[in-house]
Structure 1
């Protein structure tokens, strides 16, 4: 026996509500025989009469009235199911691995993450921290979808896009009045110690004194706040770290940084990564 299908129910419901096969055919854009055949198949499948025909119209039998009530609910449930499935299919979700430095994630990502959570709550970003070379290796190996790095000329084999540029600042403890300003807290990674030595020698004709060398701008800013030396950090770290003040040294601002987005190609990025990058570019 042929089982009734959704279209049979839809044709019957429309005809029953309009009390006219002709009107239903016009509304649905199909032929009258198609609707009549659908109703006959329903009657055969359900083993009952659904309509009582009159000269120009018809009326529903008691079974027809029950089916009209039930079919309305069934068709609404089908429509809701379709909407739910479309939503699930289009919903962007899953993990998103990003490689960068702790300072970039700490100071430059919060607003982007807030917007991402609002737009795409099912996306789960995770961060891999490392040096510039480590970040590049993570992206090249596919362990991270994309990375944010300070340009040091080693980004071969990847696509890159400039997101932000700025300058370094010298910072000192805001609580110290007699801090030795000639001993520096620096990173070796470029831009850093090499650029400092070059500019310092041009300015003062002597070698720079290094108090502490540590590969973390956040640690440098913390040490500077404790009076352990003059820190050399990017502007976004200097301007957002409590306990330090910026030294007005013109030569320090000559050390420029550029933050680049790096990846293996936009076509290889997931929808989650593409949306994160879109929001990131707007905020930068």
Structure 2
């Protein structure tokens, strides 16, 4: 039959070594001197080594004893976290889910998502952080948010990323601009900071016209680009999802044969096991819709 070390015996011995006295260890634990001595003897029998030099009026710890005391302290520290509270599921009142998302995607996903969370977990709390793809992924990696929903992705070893939708980028201009519908070569463009799709457009334009793409502005916000496009300031490269709620008479989509670019909507979360039922619900709800 397998027997295991008694944690109280380990505690008594480790404290005796720390305090340099069996009597002091007995006082600290409100037990008798013989109780500590019996605990040490029990450990010695179990481990098959002498932990102390057993001499009257002498407290000398052997080399093996010091090693056991060191390991005992580590074991006791770990055991202090293993209690009933660590085994129970968090109450719904204590659950908070922090979501990172771009404002572009929030128009499509956020309203429905928050309503679902409120319906399934009425006492849980949801927090929303807006940012760029890079900012959101970094926040998930640092565990400052629980889930990130982005257009595009970055491969990080600590994160799991799932595609939840595939759509297209569009070249969009105001319906007021270029009433004569001049050739695309004569137009100026408004892009985000360098990304895969912007690099693809620049390369395709260079190949088609043997000149660099005329970029009027670089702005790290599809929402702002959309506003400038609607004011007639240039052609914007925008995810189709961002123009879903525009007045259909307010814009025109350009479809040059030489350019096409798809994008993927990703949901990001840590690979680490996290006890958060709201997070698990959202992951399942979004990923299974693919």
TM norm. shorter chain > 0.5: yes
| CA deviation string 1:217-259 (max 9, x = no partner) | 111111111100001011111333333232233444x222112
CA contact (8 A) 2:190 2:236 kept: yes
Match of 2:278 in 1: 272
Q: What's 2:111 paired with? A: 110
2:190 is aligned, of 172, 181, 185, to 185
Rate the CA distance shift 1:153–1:90 in 2: closer, same or farther, 3 A.
closer
1:191–1:257 CA contact under 8 A, matched in 2: no
Q: Is the 8 A contact 2:163 2:264 kept in 1?
A: yes
Name the TM-score, length of structure 2 as normaliser: 0.60
Moved more, 146-155 or 192-201: 146-155
Following TM superposition, the consecutive aligned residue runs of length 4 or more in structure 1 with deviations greater than 3 angstroms are 88-94, 152-156, 178-181, 281-284
Instruction: State how 1:24-103 maps to structure 2 within 5 Å.
Output: 91=92, 94-103=95-104
Question: Is the alpha carbon distance of 1:269 and 1:247 closer, same or farther for their aligned partners in structure 2, counting shifts above 3 Å?
Answer: farther
**Alpha-carbon spacing, 1:158–1:282, altered in 2? closer, same or farther (3 Å):** closer
Shift of 1:271: 0.7
**Which one of 230, 237, 242 corresponds to residue 225 of structure 1?**
230
Question: In structure 1, how many angstroms separate the alpha carbons of the residues matched to 2:110 and 2:287?
Answer: 11
Aligned to 1:164: 165
Between the aligned partners of 1:274 and 1:152, the Cα distance in structure 2 is 21
Distance 1:208 1:159 in 2: 35
Residues 232 and 134 of structure 1, relative CA distance in 2, 3 Å threshold:
same
1:211 aligns with 2:216: yes
TM-score w.r.t. the length of structure 1 is 0.61
Contact 1:197/1:208 (8 A) holds in 2: yes
Structure 2 stretches lacking a partner, 5+ long: 1-88
Offset of 1:149 from its aligned partner? Answer: 2.5
Unaligned runs of 5+ in 1: 1-87
Partner of 2:136: 135
User: How far off is 1:90 after superposition?
Assistant: 6.8
